[in-house]
Structure formats: structure tokens, C-alpha cells
Amino acid sequence: MESLSFERGEAPRSSSLPDRKVSGILNPGSSHGGEAPVIVIGAGFAGASAALTLADAGRPVLLLEAAKAPGGRARSFPDPRSGRELDWGPHLFMKANPALREFLGRIGASASLRFEPSLDLTYRLADGAARGGVRNERLSFPARGGAPASLLALLRWRGPRLAARLSIARGLRRVLKEGPPAVESPAAESKNAGETVEQMLDRLGQGASEREWFWEPFSGAVLNMPAGEGSGELLRRVMCEAFGPGLAGASLGAPAEALGPFWADRALDAIRRAGGEVKMAAPVRRIRIEGGAVRGVTLSGGESIEASVVIAAVPPPALLRLLPAEAFGGKSPWRDLGRLRSASIATAYLWLDHPCPGPAYEALVAERWEWLFRPGAGGLKAGDLRTGEKEPDAPVAFLCGGADSLASAPRSEIESAAREAAGRLLPDFGLRRVLVVRERAATWANGAGEQAHRTAAETPVDGLILAGDWTATGLPATCEGAVRSGFRAAEAAQDPKGG
């Protein structure tokens, strides 16, 4: 059995797969009568959604990305050995993600993302008393029927004991009754400001079983942080947006293809069709600021490009490197950026000795790994998810995240843990190959103590606007939060004076 692992940025590109690089700049502003463009730095969800919105509005826009391929922290890479495109970390999306779904619709990606009619999740755990040594318990809520039908679904669920299931229902009802925290200033306006997930669950009377089977899978997926550090307010907002309108909003979906072709490539194509310009492998060395206002950017090769507005859609450390010292000098909001923390996500791709049919994703119980994915199965119809076989040589994937998790361990330990988990959770399969990849800074600013330090889109520098899932969106660092920040940044760029 082969083992291989690498960090993001080390993945080789395969000559057998199409090169997805985008052509360079032609002449910024040439198609808009010489008007200086809005420059967007970073081609992740935040930057791409901002650039597309501006291009659709007829504004000259130039999108610059340091990497050779778009996607930011939601990107994929070609695996030369299998000839497949793989994600740096498989993603789940929620139906209650209005901004993300709007953006995916605008770039033509909606057909590649299918949602279950309602929340439908299979849990997998090793159990020596179970047939084959593995239990699979399915929690499936009806799309209709209201509270009575939901209660019946909980009663039919054979995961935790009945008392725990009823406690979960009471806890969720209390969360929805409390409602979401204020968006504009969550830390200042909520009576539960600064509450961690653990404190929230203590207040809701949720025991160990309730947390293990229900709250921790959702909290881990949403916040990528331990319950003792993650923001209870952020989790409460997500739960209210997902479950508040009805259980259909909490349904999950996995893309039918890797993240690059699923959304990133389509987004750049849409930007170009709308009249925007893009350049990959174009790292920005400095944002040029003179007299308290943005003048443009300087690329790492020394080329200067004038700009009317600059939208910086990059993580906090990258942003600080782009700013001249005189622009921030330890003043707010720049000094707050250093208080935002990141967390890792690790993925182990496992090639098995024969096909492993099943759902596109499963929650793992009582394991160091948190999720099992079957890449590519997200495109099957709901009725096929549990019976359809995968494509030839398609791997399964284990995923985990968080600063205190296996994702932060040495890579040799991650590989060993993947093999051990496969022996427990997939006992009928032999391992042919293991590939471990890790995104060291996968998520930002999801801690309870960090919310007051997340900054708004507008900055004290005239013409400099921030975007990113780590900004003050009122949401965790998710794709939905990133897209909302991109829309907000584009709106600010079109009306920088607020009038």
C-alpha cells in the first residue's frame, strides 16, 4: 500500500489533465474608456463573487490571483496517480445558503449541486456488537409535516437513547425560540455575547450523548473549532437560518465534481463573459496608498496597475503583508487582524480494493475523524445515494478539522490514524493507497473571543475595501459567509461614499 502526504501548495500538476490557468491581463480599463478598474485581490469565493457582481454591473474590474488556479481555500488539484481532480478538503453546503446558491446559479454551477429534500444524515460508528462490526444509523427528517413529523423522525432514529433524542429536540426548539444574534454587532448586542458552544450547550441542558450525536457534528462542520472555544452565537445563527424556516433549509448537499471545475473555473469564465479581466499567477506585492487613499497595486514582478478601488479578499496575514506600514501602524482595525486565529483541516483519501457504495457523506461517531466522503457521489439522485456504485478508482475520504484535532498532528500520525480508522469503519475493504492533504489555515475567526475583532468591509483608507469569510458577516468562516462578504464589498465599491 502506498502512502503519500503533502501540504497545500505541494500538489503536483498532471500533464494528463487539462491546465485550468486563465489568460493574463490584456489592457486594464481599455474596454471602459480608460477608467481605472476596481482591482480585486484573491480568487476565492469572496473575491470571485465581488468581481462578478461588479462586472455584471458594468464596472471595469480586474481580478488578480497569486496561485495558478482559482478557488482560494475551496479549490482542488489534479492527482497524477489516479488522474482524478481532488479537493483540498471535501465541502458540504446547506440549502439555507441564499447568497452561495445565488452565486452558483449566476455562474452555471447549480446543476452540479443536489440537495436532499430535508436533513438526511447517516452516522457511522465502530460497534463490535453490530453485524460486521459497524453500525450505520440514519437520521432522516421529512420535508413536510411540521413539528409532529419531525418528532416522529427523532423517535425512529436509532442513534442515541430516546432520552437524548428528546433532549436534542428540546435544545433545538430553545435555540430557535431565542432567535439569531444581531448581525451588525453580535458581540455587543446579544445577551449571550462571548458565549462558547460548550457554554451554550450547558445552558440548553445538552448531555454528552446529545453532543456526540447531534451538536458536535454540526458545530465541527460549521466552526471547525472545539466546543470550548467556538462561538455559540455563530452556531446559533447558522442553526436559526437552517432550521428556522423549516427542516428543508437544513438539508445538505455535496458537489458532483471537484471544487475547481464545480465552481472556481465557472466563476472565472462568468467574470470574463461579463467583461471583467482576470490574471492568475499574479501575486500582489503591495497595495499602493498615498494621502490616505488607494492608488493601485504593485505586482511581485514590479508592474504597477492603477485602480479606482481595491478589494482585498485575502486572509488576514496576507492582507497585512500587502499594506504599507504607514497605512495601519497598529491602529484599528488593522491591529485587530492579528487577534484572529486560523484552524486546520486534514483529508485522507483512501483507495480501496473494491467499490464502496453509500451516501455522499456520513458523520463519524466516537472517532478522531469527523466525516466520511465519497467524492463524486453528490451528483447522484437522492434515491441512488445509498445503492449506486462509485466511478472506477474513486477514493473515499476521511476529514477532520480544528486546532486541537488530528488535523494539527504530524502528518505521519494523520496517515496512521487514517489506516487505523479504515480498519474499524471499513473492515470489509483492503487499502491500496493513502493520500493525506492538509490546509493549515482552512478557517478563520470562529472563536467566541474573536467576534469583536472581525472588521467591516469599509476601512479608514479611501478606496480600500475588505472581503473574506473572516470579516464581520455575522456568520462563521464558511463559503456562504465568503460570498455574502463579496456581495457587500461590491456594493461598497460601487458607492464608496455611502451615498
Reported in sequence order, the residue ranges of 273-422 that DSSP labels E, i.e. its strands, are 277-279, 284-290, 293-299, 304-306, 309-312, 342-352, 361-364, 371-373, 396-401
Residue at 308 is within a domain:
yes
More confident residue, 468 or 249: 468
Residues 244 and 265 in one domain: no
Q: What is the mean pLDDT of residues 201-210?
A: 97
Specify which of 143-152, 218-227, 234-243, 262-271 reaches the highest per-range mean pLDDT.
Answer: 262-271
Residues 242 and 162 in one domain: yes
Identify the residue whose cell numbers are 482542488: 76
Band of pLDDT at residue 20, cut at 50, 70 and 90: very low
Residues 55 and 177 in one domain: no
Q: What is the mean pLDDT of residues 14-28?
A: 38
Report how far Cα 420 is from the mean position of its chain's Cα atoms. 27
Q: Which range, of 101-105, 390-394, 451-455, averages the lowest pLDDT?
A: 390-394
Residues 279 and 311 in one domain: yes
pLDDT reported for residue 33: 56
pLDDT reported for residue 331: 72
Q: What is the mean pLDDT of residues 246-256?
A: 86
Residues 201 and 319 in one domain: no
Q: Are 85 and 75 in contact (CB under 8 A)?
A: no
Residue at 217 is within a domain:
yes
Backbone angles phi, psi at 73, to 5 degrees: -85, 5
Domain C-terminal end among 249, 276, 297: 249
Residues 278 and 331 in one domain: yes
Residues 333 and 453 in one domain: yes
C-alpha cell belonging to residue 492: 461598497
Q: What is the mean pLDDT of residues 313-330?
A: 84
Band of pLDDT at residue 63, cut at 50, 70 and 90: very high
Residues 152 and 241 in one domain: yes
Residue at 374 is within a domain:
no
Band of pLDDT at residue 19, cut at 50, 70 and 90: very low
Residue at 226 is within a domain:
yes
More confident residue, 62 or 245: 62
pLDDT reported for residue 434: 97
The tally of domains found in the chain comes to 2
Residue at 4 is within a domain:
no
More confident residue, 80 or 248: 80
Q: Which residues, in sequence order, are bridge partners of residue 435?
A: 4, 349
Band of pLDDT at residue 85, cut at 50, 70 and 90: very high
Residues 328 and 451 in one domain: yes
pLDDT tens profile 413-468: 999 999 999 999 999 999 999 999 999 999 999 999 999 999 999 999 999 999 99
Q: What is the mean pLDDT of residues 476-487?
A: 97
Domain C-terminal end among 249, 279, 301: 249
Residues 328 and 457 in one domain: yes
pLDDT reported for residue 6: 53
> What are the helix (H) ranges across 204-231?
208-210, 216-223
Q: What is the CATH number of the domain that holds 276?
A: 3.50.50.60
Residue at 50 is within a domain:
yes
pLDDT tens profile 335-391: 888 899 999 999 999 999 999 999 999 999 999 999 999 997 654 433 443 434 445
pLDDT tens profile 398-413: 999 988 899 999 999 9
d(CA 172, CA 149): 15
Domain C-terminal end among 221, 249, 277: 249
**CB proximity list for 202: less than 8 A, separation 6 or greater:** none
Residue at 245 is within a domain:
yes
Q: Are 454 and 340 in contact (CB under 8 A)?
A: yes
For the cut 90, the answer to whether the pLDDT of residue 25 exceeds it is no
pLDDT reported for residue 24: 37
pLDDT, the chain, mean = 87
Residue at 162 is within a domain:
yes
Q: Are 166 and 202 in contact (CB under 8 A)?
A: no
Residues 175 and 240 in one domain: yes
Range of the domain at 161: 143-249
pTM to 2 decimal places: 0.89
Residues 169 and 308 in one domain: no
